[in-house]
Structure 1
């Protein structure tokens, strides 16, 4: 696999972002370090990630954006993204079970019809994009997604298809911290015994 560059060798802006993430979450997700070997690409990757994932709309709230990531990453057998974004999904959805359901079999997950329509299109777009038709996109609109939301379903699917492949390329494994996030109360998450 590829060596992770020493943190103190990274450009100032990357180190500042790592410090910010570590201060907020208590650790630095391994993907931030794995991709840091190519700073220009790292900047572009995280700028696009943030543009897609850090917005909340009625048709595609932040939890459902994470649902897309978990569902498509499970199809792409990306352990890192399923575990990391599963943790974020648990937190954003305030549901300790949903991420596991989505990753295992989203068709049987406890989600509504709108949420079910989203991975139906997203997974096909991530795996077999040529099979997604205008009628599929219209089905998303019929479930209340705006034009921008429909675009975001496709863009998130495409972005994480790339991300999944970079994780496979680099052999990046999930941080231990992700496994408990959103499963137990925060005070227990941070305790030595929890």
Structure 2
């Protein structure tokens, strides 16, 4: 059982109430992730600000979703994989085959996006120590050294939500339910003992 509340605007600490108002205005509802992060207003503010900064990167909307999905799948975050699958397919209009490949831990049908997803996974798995062939493949696919650091920004921002969701045990919003996800080869519950979750 979670030790955290999913806050509404009314129940949230004072420092988070205006931030949740902004979430409601932007999305039409308050994502449970935001309601959970509201327990620590500074964490919610950081998440919102990092989201805005990553959106200003030179990566395209589809590329940004590839990064966020790859991080979330690598971190076994069922909440964020579902959320970003929804955003990628229905808001960004990314190729569903690209999204499904990341969800299924398979090679992406687009070679450049596959290089992006693989580099992102390597950053997560190797704690940023990505050199040699793994680094060179990313650059040779057409990405810049600036985009190496933009991927790190995406990993940073998504790790905040992935880890928070694991700890909060964030319930999946109905808006993301159609894209509910489980780690391939693991149990069907987002309450696995190995803890896949959120974010």
**Alignment gaps of 5+ in structure 2:** 180-199
Distance in 2 of aligned mates of 1:10 and 1:3 = 9
Equivalent position to 2:30, from 28, 31, 36:
28
- Give 1:125 deviation, angstroms: 1.1
Distance in 2 of aligned mates of 1:80 and 1:47 = 20
- Give 1:89 deviation, angstroms: 1.3
Contact between 1:64 and 1:115, CA under 8 Å: does it hold in 2? yes
Contact between 1:87 and 1:99, CA under 8 Å: does it hold in 2? no
Structure-1 residue corresponding to 2:163: 165
Aligned residues: 176
User: Are the structure 2 counterparts of residues 160 and 56 from structure 1 closer, same or farther at C-alpha, using a change threshold of 3 Å?
Assistant: closer
User: Are the structure 2 counterparts of residues 30 and 155 from structure 1 closer, same or farther at C-alpha, using a change threshold of 3 Å?
Assistant: same
Write 1 or 2 for the structure with the bigger share of helix.
Answer: 1
Contact between 2:33 and 2:161, CA under 8 Å: does it hold in 1? no
Task: Tell me the SS of whatever aligns to 1:84.
Answer: helix
Task: Tell me the SS of whatever aligns to 1:166.
Answer: helix
- Give 1:130 deviation, angstroms: 5.7
User: Are the structure 2 counterparts of residues 13 and 92 from structure 1 closer, same or farther at C-alpha, using a change threshold of 3 Å?
Assistant: farther
Deviation per CA, 1:13-50: give whole Å up to 9, x if none: 74333333323432211110000001122212221222
1:127 correspondence with 2:128: no
Contact between 1:30 and 1:173, CA under 8 Å: does it hold in 2? yes
Structure-1 residue corresponding to 2:87: 88
1:51 correspondence with 2:53: yes
Deviation per CA, 1:135-186: give whole Å up to 9, x if none: 43333222222222111112212332332111100001221112348xxxxx
131-140 vs 168-177, which deviates more? 131-140
Distance in 2 of aligned mates of 1:95 and 1:135 = 28
- Give 1:63 deviation, angstroms: 1.2
126-135 vs 38-47, which deviates more? 126-135
Structure-2 residue corresponding to 1:190: none
What's the TM-score, normalizing by structure 2?
0.76
